[in-house]
Amino acid sequence: MRTGPSWICSISAAVLSAIVGSALPQAFAGELSDSGPVAAHAPRADVSEAIYIIQGATLKASVEDANRVHATGVRRLEIIHAVAARLTASQAQQLSSRPGVRLFKDRTLSTSSLTSWFTSLLSPVTQPVYSTTGTIAAPVVTTLTPVLTPTTQAIAPVTYPVLTAATPIASPLVTPLLSPLTTSLSSNQSLQDGTGVGSSSLLYTTSYPMLVGADTLHQGGITGRGVTIAVLDSGLWQDPSQNFGPRLLASIDVVNGGTGRVTGDPYGHGTHVTSIAAGGAQDVSLSYSGIAPQANLVVVRAFDGQGGGRYSDVIAGLNWIVANKTRYNIRVLNLSFGAQPQSYYWDDPVNQAVMAAWRAGIVVVAASGNEGPNAMTIDVPGNVPYVITTGALTDNYTPYNGTDDRLASFSSTGPTFEGFVKPEVVAPGGHIAASMPSNSYLANIDPGSMSPGEQMFTMSGTSMAAAVTTGVVALMIQSDPTLTPDTIKCRLLSSARPAVTSKGTLAYSVFQQGAGLINAVSAVHSGATGCANVGLNISADLAGTQHFGGPANEDANGNFYIMNMSGSTWGSAASSDGYTWNQGYTWAQGYTWAQGYTWAQGYTWAKGYTWAKGYTWAQGYTWAKGYTWAKDQPWWTTSSSSAPATTPAPIVPWVPNE
């Protein structure tokens, strides 16, 4: 998946110059509060300053801590009772020594970019480079700084872990692969599987609504009408064919402290994701291109024109979404981005904000990541146990032949570091065609993936799979607006279809496919309850009084399994279904996604257990043995150097279309 030759088509000198010489993010300034924007721009920061997230017991305490050291560019992040601000090394040191203050160096993210590949070819690698979530091509080489040990803080009854310094591991150089041009077909067209479209269809025809059953619901009037989807990404280009205009209720651009409305999508990723979830274009047979074609939209731009973003911007965007939930009836939130974990899920500031959104009644759908097929590759915020984390499958370019469908090899795999099974479900994420402005960054980098005559772009990734799942959630909510996030997650799991072999056994472990491929029709008509987030307490998790682990473990031979968590056999393997997995799998094989599969032990793997309950792994196995914390830029610190956090850190890599 990460090897093999390929070629980049010719790119103009102007485009290449823009790629290599793209500007760093602008100076951080401004803030958001529940009552709207406050204080405009801070003075230009000194080069020795870096952005930090300052977290105290309350928002007021955090503001006072920032003011105490005369921090600049203070920005309120009410959702996690914190502020973001610029600090010098001396100021950071002062705050790190104060009891009750937690200090996080602002971490940078991106959705997708090829900047890194071109930069690595033209000059020595001296800084972290862009990587991706939406996918066309691959690869990155990264230079890393050793991860510093975070300060240990005790919060009854849990003591935060001390992560030891690790030797940095640079990502291997992988030759990028450009996506082949793929135009999906409608179930109403007569072309056979495996054939292409010889000329532009101009029909905005897609197959993913059919693959999850959304097209059947559309015919019955379930289209997402009245439900608002929030998309936090790189913006939105309003493709006239998608009819976004009357359905776009609000937007805000929070990049670098901004508070204005979204005026476009120079990068393109946000448009692609939004049109998958809620595209309203119709083909000649009046079939919709998107999953929830009449859902309302709220768009939050937190990633810039090259796909770069910051934790502080993402948290500010989440803050705005939760604050405006009631005003715009925001019921579901799509997060098609990620970063490699560098702490337990409950310590990560973005994860804290995501948990707050879930607690507020918003269903959060996250991409699992594009770093599969290896185990323990689930990204932040997909590693949050409460949210719906989505992996990707591919129809193998034959949408009407279900027997050769397979899990996409790039789809990130669980379990999480804390032992939770992720992803919970999978959805179509291979060679997904959706709207993209032809003048966007991505379209210019890979013009071959633009459909001739249409502003449609083909990408693969768990970003796309998450958007499909987001649309299905909107359909469920239209059908029954009383559903809670936990019940929606339960019904998605209970109605999903796992991949099975010809003998009726699971083709993939629960650590790879979760409950299986989502089924919109079955999910809408499901009556299941109480089968998701069992044993978890999100309020206690956010308060820091309890944290939770999942039932997964790894034995001394490298096999992952689900533990029996009750009685005298606590910690032993619950061996049934796909509960034991050694990572061995032939990725070229296709399988059928079975209806009506009965799990032998129900959803025992969808539960959580109190972390503070003397959580000891079976046979004294050291879980961290198989997990590298040094894969990314250090960001959780109270004493690191004051080098500005202005360069993008790698997240999920580009992958070729499958």
Is 90 exceeded by the pLDDT of residue 273?
A: yes
Convert 115-133 to b/e letters by CB count within 10 Å (16 or more is b). Answer: bbbbbbeeeeeeebbbbbb
- Six-digit token pair at 179? 């996506």
Cα 441 to Cα 112: distance, rounded to the nearest angstrom: 10
Q: Which two structure tokens, joined as six digits, stand for 15?
A: 């485009």
Exposed/middle/buried for 329, CB within 10 Å: 0-12, 13-18, 19+?
middle
- pLDDT, tens only, 111-120: 532 333 333 3
Cβ-contact 84, 28 below 8 angstroms: yes
pTM above 0.85, yes or no: no
Q: What is the distance between the alpha carbons of residues 602 and 498, in angstroms, rounded to a whole number?
A: 13
**What average pLDDT score do residues 72-92 get?**
95
Closest CA to 271 of 242, 229, 310: 242
Angle at 552 between CA 551 and CA 558, to 5 degrees: 155
How far is the C-alpha of 333 from the C-alpha of 380, rounded, in Å?
Answer: 15
Q: How far apart are CA 117 and CA 330, in angstroms?
A: 38
Whether the pLDDT of residue 581 is over 80: the answer is: no
Whose structure tokens read 């077909």?
185
Which pLDDT band holds residue 198 (cuts at 50, 70, 90)? very low
Q: To 5 degrees, how large is the angle CA 438–CA 442–CA 447?
A: 60
Q: Could you give the residue numbers annotated as active site?
A: 233, 269, 463
To which H or E segment does residue 331 belong? strand 330-335
Residue 123 has pLDDT above 80, yes or no: no
What gap in Å lies between CA 392 and CA 137, rounded to an integer? Answer: 17
Average of per-residue pLDDT across 180-205: 34
What is the per-residue burial (b if ≥16 Cβ within 10 Å, else e) of 442-463?
bbbbbbebbbeebbbbbbbbbb
Q: Which strands form 560-562's sheet, in the order they lie side by side? A: 552-554, 560-562, 580-581
The Cα 390–Cα 517 span in angstroms is 10
pLDDT in tens, 523-576: 999 999 999 999 899 999 999 999 988 888 887 777 888 887 665 555 667 766
**What is the distance between the alpha carbons of residues 56 and 99, in angstroms, rounded to a whole number?**
9
What does the DSSP 8-state code read for residue 86?
A: E
Q: How does DSSP classify residue 288?
A: B
**Residue 11 scores a pLDDT above 80:** no
Indicate left, alpha or beta for 635 from its phi (over 0: left) and psi (-120 to 50: alpha). Answer: alpha
Q: Output the CA–CA distances (angstroms, integers) from residue 172 to 137, 139, 155, 583, in the order listed.
A: 14, 8, 39, 21
Residue 391 backbone dihedrals phi, psi, to 5 degrees: -95, 180
Which pLDDT band, with edges at 50, 70 and 90, does 323 fall under? very high
Do the beta carbons of residue 458 and residue 449 sit within 8 Å?
Answer: yes
Residues 59-68: tens digit of each pLDDT: 999 999 999 9
Render pLDDT for 542-557 as a digit per residue (tens, 0 to 9).
999 999 888 888 877 7
Asked whether 629 and 533 are in contact (CB, 8 A), the reply is no
Domains, the chain: 210-543 (3.40.50.200)
Residue with tokens 């009506």: 596
Provide the b/e sequence for 394-407 (b: ≥16 CB within 10 Å). Answer: bbbbbbeebebbbb
Predicted local distance difference test score (pLDDT) of residue 284 = 81
Average model confidence (pLDDT) across the chain = 73
| Cβ atoms of residues 449 and 135 within 8 Å | no
Query: What are the pLDDT digits (tens) for 206-227?
Result: 889 999 999 999 999 999 999 9
CA angle 451, 454, 459 (to 5 degrees): 45
Number of neighbours of residue 387 by Cβ within 10 angstroms: 26
Give the model confidence (pLDDT) of 339-388 as tens digits: 889 889 999 999 999 999 999 999 999 999 998 888 899 999 999 999 99
Predicted confidence at residue 381, as pLDDT, reads 95
Per DSSP, the residues of 426-490 read EEE-SSEEEE--TTSHHHHH-GGGBPTTS-EEEEBSHHHHHHHHHHHHHHHHHH-TT--HHHHHH
At 440, list the tokens.
């966007």
* Contact status, residue 440 vs residue 271, Cβ threshold 8 Å: yes
pLDDT at residue 285, rounded to an integer: 82
Name the packing angle between helices 311-323 and 349-359 (round to 10°). Answer: 10
Can you state the angle between helices 269-278 and 462-479, rounded to 10 degrees? 30
579 vs 628, higher pLDDT: 579
Instruction: Tell me the three state secondary structure of residue 193.
Output: coil
Which range, of 325-329, 477-481, 556-560, averages the lowest pLDDT? 556-560
pLDDT at 311 (0 to 100): 94
User: What CA–CA distance (Å, rounded) separates 636 from 350?
Assistant: 12
Phi, psi for residue 125 in degrees, rounded to 5: -80, 115
Residues 492-527 pLDDT 10s: 999 998 888 888 888 888 999 999 999 999 999 999
The helix or strand, by DSSP H or E, that contains position 60, with its residue range, turns out to be: helix 59-68
For the chain, what is the radius of gyration of the CA atoms? 23
DSSP code string of 412-426: -----TTS----SEE
Q: Are 108 and 438 in contact, with CB atoms under 8 Å apart?
A: no
Alpha helices in 510-562 (DSSP H): 510-513, 520-525, 538-543
What pLDDT is recorded for position 83? 96
- CA distances (Å), 237 to each of 54, 245, 265, 404, 590, in order? 34, 10, 5, 35, 36
